[in-house]
Structure 1
Amino acid sequence: MADHHEVLVIGGGNAGISLAARLRRYKVADIGLIEPRTTHYFQPLFSHIGGGAARMGEATREQARVMPRGIEWIRGEAADIRPEENAVLLADGRRIGYGQLVVCPGLQKDWDGIPGLAGAMASAQVTSNYDPAMPEKTWGLVRSLRSGTAIFTQPPGPATCVDVGQKIAYMACDYWREYGVLRDIRVVLVVPTPTVFGIEDVDAVLRAKIAEYGIELHTSTSLAGVDAARRTVTLAGPDGTRELSFDLLHVVPPQSAPDWLKGTPLPAAGDASGFVEVDPESLRHRRYANVWSLGDAAATLNYKSGGALRKQVKVLARNLAAVARGSEPRERYNHYGVCPIALTRHTLLFAEFDHQYRPMPTVPWMDLAKERRWAWVLDRWIFPQVYWRLILKGRA
């Protein structure tokens, strides 16, 4: 095979870059990384940008600047995986062989999954911080709204940091309150879950903030359609459907594994979601011993977030390095997940939990699920620097 790497990584986001960098630190020599994009984003800052508390330049780097030294960047798009042949096919026809494969392409945004949503994204009143082109549009909408109805929605099913979609609702309300217009704005928050988050202590904090802002909360409800021309949404809830007009609509889109990945042998038989079938603790494929996966595209049990990914990277890198030495993988991921939720443009809480939404605090003697100023400083100012300077270099 003309192109072959001992370790081949699909995906140059947080997962792929930080894993490759850590593997280099573990003296794994021959690493190839498949990634078509030329721009790399630190997506947790998108909410702060949408709330007017950060600039897009802080969340953006050229992909070439974050690629670890000593690896080959394969600039192309994965189109198929043939595990029986130990090969990956690219969209341009190239064929790349591997000794060990790591699959971490992230999720795709299914804008067409909700009737009318894809077309509505180009309209002046609709936005999403989940699209790198739109956080600044979000801030423009928040800044200019002085009256009317603002609707913020979350989708059912798996999504990257799905509850972070609430961040912009609270930050927007804080801004509108500061400028004395919140009382003239009907704010609607739509979540698919029975409670606003799912952990009792976190729910209590969020309910108090929702009451403080006067937000109209719709639980067990999902966005079922968007009519951009009429500026209306259809919401589907326990009592059927209802239509609401809006002046600002922020959407977290439905998400799924990439379509090309769904068609490979790596998902479990009969699993239409397309997530890679791995042992959720070792992160090794259940049927192909030289295939691994982590991050959003892996069929793990945890809440999908960057905090969860950081722990997965350490586990997978150590397990893969052990296999390269001829040993058995012994590291286990503990299903940790974390969600930072800004409650104002200056305060934030951290929800830490396992795959069953049981609290899993990293600092047991301090309850991080409380509104704190220093937590916001950590999320807004410290974490971005940790990401660019340490995580992407395999050091955190």
Structure 2
Amino acid sequence: MTGRTAEARQEHHDVVVIGGGAAGIAIARGLRRRDTRLDVAIIEPAESHYYQPGWTLVGGGVFDADRTRQPMTAVLPAGVAHYAQAATAIDPDRGIVRLSDGRTLCYRALVVAPGLELDWGAIDGLSGALGAHGVTSNYRFDLAPYTWSLVQNLRRGRALFTQPAMPIKCAGAPQKAMYLACDHWRRRGALQDINVQFHNAGGALFGVGAYIPALMEHVERYGIGLEFHQQLMAVDGPGQRAHFLIHGADGCQREHVEPFDMLHVVPPQRAPALIRNSRLANDAGWLDLHPNTLQHQHYPAIFGAGDVSATPNAKTAAAVRVQAPIVADNVVAYLKGEALSARYQGYGACPLTVSHGRVVLAEFGYGGELMPTLPGWLNDGRRATALAWQLKACAMPAIYWHLMLKGREWGVS
């Protein structure tokens, strides 16, 4: 591209979508379904697309990892331009996005859905310890099989599971890994010889109190030790020591060291630098969206969805499923100069896998309001059911690949 003018390095589209994850692909397809004349582009450098909710089941020995991955080219929507580059900057005043290869994309409307960033480096020693010394995480595709290997091979000792401060994606995943491991050890007769602890930086087992009693039944059944207000600060992999910062009720802090034979870590999470260092972020660094319209609070041409959002909903694929048609509706309305009528009420779902064959299906919206999508006689989300397991293990992957990513829309608005 040497010698080409800046003008020649510009591309123009009606809608530019940043991110080829669940949100970006579903929204791009939704836009094209609403108006085939729309010129839509997706910015996504990754070569593979992942069904991340399946990684917990990989770590529990239910799925093979390859079942959760497809080539990006296989899931991108037809009729949508694809830029296999990273977005490096957004200029909301000029209406452009800069790419890592030097090009700029001009837009009439922008959808920001790059997901979030796993901040492995925030825990001293963790990056170098992962994948060895019993240190693992289901939050990485390549490590979820290692989790299952550790679970299979541990017969006695100490197993620690950690959860960082919110927000994180799939807030139930840290304890899902623990429950599936405990259920395997129980079935094998080894659980009585394994000291299982859940170290949570927060002060509650789950953010919506209605589901805590059902979860506590399994905590007690497995004999899990709950440790709240404990933040993982450092990992000594070779020495198999985890260093926690304990926040006391008196406001004092102290460090505590726990030995382990297995350590499942969930790292702190944050918005990508593209957003957190931009004018699009709120004070906490997340994409500043109106909680109902999902339009940016200060830049009307910009919309967003998924894990990057500052909206106070659970960061789950189920939330994206409901957000995607709302964003598509409102982007089309914006381009036509019409009022934004589609409204998001914060719906999210977390299938809490408490054993092999049983799931507590938590569905809720803003403020913890319960938002069940199935009648109570069919599935009561406040107790573990076999039906919810079938949804999690069998129906949801198929729904994701063959309906959601294909632009089929339904659900709670």
Bucket of the pairwise TM-score, normalised by the shorter protein: over 0.9
3-state SS of 1:390 partner: helix
Pairwise CA distance, 1:188: 0.7
Q: Percent identity?
A: 38
The TM-score, its normalising length taken from structure 1, stands at: 0.96
Question: Aligned letter for 2:19?
Answer: G
Aligned to 1:314: 325
Residue of structure 1 aligned with 2:29, choices 12, 16, 21: 21
3-state SS of 2:376 partner: coil
Pairwise CA distance, 1:358: 3.0
Measure, in 2, the Cα distance between the counterparts of 1:302 and 1:162.
11
Pairwise CA distance, 1:264: 1.8
Determine whether 1:221 maps to 2:230: yes
Determine whether 1:354 maps to 2:368: no
The TM-score, its normalising length taken from structure 2, stands at: 0.92
Residue of structure 2 aligned with 1:84, choices 70, 84, 93: 93
Determine whether 1:382 maps to 2:395: yes
Residue of structure 1 aligned with 2:212, choices 196, 203, 219: 203
Pairwise CA distance, 1:144: 0.8
Aligned to 2:314: 303
Measure, in 1, the Cα distance between the counterparts of 2:66 and 2:264.
22
Aligned to 1:6: 14
Structure 1 residues 199 and 84, CA gap change in structure 2 (3 angstroms): closer
Q: Pairwise mapping of residues 247-266 of structure 1 onto structure 2 (< 5 A)? A: 247-266=261-280
Aligned to 2:3: none
Structure 1 residues 98 and 232, CA gap change in structure 2 (3 angstroms): same
Q: Pairwise mapping of residues 264-303 of structure 1 onto structure 2 (< 5 A)? A: 264-268=278-282, 271=283, 273-303=284-314
- Asked whether the 8 Å contact 2:133–2:238 carries over to 1, the reply is no
Aligned to 2:251: none
Measure, in 2, the Cα distance between the counterparts of 1:220 and 1:336.
27
Measure, in 2, the Cα distance between the counterparts of 1:369 and 1:92.
50
Bigger CA drift: 86-95 or 66-75? 86-95
Pairwise CA distance, 1:229: 2.0
Measure, in 1, the Cα distance between the counterparts of 2:364 and 2:109.
31
Question: Aligned letter for 1:215?
Answer: I
Residue of structure 2 aligned with 1:104, choices 113, 122, 129: 113
Residue of structure 2 aligned with 1:36, choices 41, 45, 67: 45
Measure, in 2, the Cα distance between the counterparts of 1:338 and 1:376.
14
- Asked whether the 8 Å contact 2:240–2:260 carries over to 1, the reply is yes
3-state SS of 1:170 partner: helix
Determine whether 1:339 maps to 2:347: no
Pairwise CA distance, 1:210: 0.7
For structure 2, the 5+ residue unaligned runs are: 1-6, 249-253
Measure, in 1, the Cα distance between the counterparts of 2:285 and 2:99.
18
Determine whether 1:148 maps to 2:157: yes
Aligned to 1:243: 257
Deviations 1:224-251 (A, max 9, x none): 2211121111122234331110111111
Aligned to 2:67: 58
Deviations 1:171-222 (A, max 9, x none): 0011011111111111111122222113333111111101110111112222
Deviations 1:5-56 (A, max 9, x none): 1000000000000111111111152000000001000011100010001111
Deviations 1:263-304 (A, max 9, x none): 222113xx1x32111111101111111011111111112111
Deviations 1:71-110 (A, max 9, x none): 0111100110011111101122111111100000000110
3-state SS of 1:341 partner: strand
Pairwise CA distance, 1:374: 1.3
- Asked whether the 8 Å contact 2:131–2:146 carries over to 1, the reply is no
- Asked whether the 8 Å contact 1:116–1:226 carries over to 2, the reply is yes
Measure, in 1, the Cα distance between the counterparts of 2:57 and 2:39.
38
Pairwise CA distance, 1:122: 4.1
- Asked whether the 8 Å contact 1:278–1:286 carries over to 2, the reply is yes
3-state SS of 2:186 partner: helix
- Asked whether the 8 Å contact 1:46–1:135 carries over to 2, the reply is yes
For structure 1, the 5+ residue unaligned runs are: none
Structure 1 residues 144 and 136, CA gap change in structure 2 (3 angstroms): same
3-state SS of 1:229 partner: coil
- Asked whether the 8 Å contact 1:162–1:252 carries over to 2, the reply is no
Pairwise CA distance, 1:377: 1.0
Residue of structure 1 aligned with 2:133, choices 98, 119, 124: 124
- Asked whether the 8 Å contact 1:171–1:344 carries over to 2, the reply is yes
Pairwise CA distance, 1:364: 5.3
Question: Aligned letter for 2:307?
Answer: D
3-state SS of 1:320 partner: helix
Question: Aligned letter for 1:302?
Answer: N
- Asked whether the 8 Å contact 1:164–1:340 carries over to 2, the reply is no
Residue of structure 2 aligned with 1:165, choices 168, 174, 181: 174
Pairwise CA distance, 1:168: 0.9
Bigger CA drift: 236-245 or 78-87? 236-245
Measure, in 2, the Cα distance between the counterparts of 1:55 and 1:225.
30
Aligned length: 393
Measure, in 2, the Cα distance between the counterparts of 1:261 and 1:323.
22
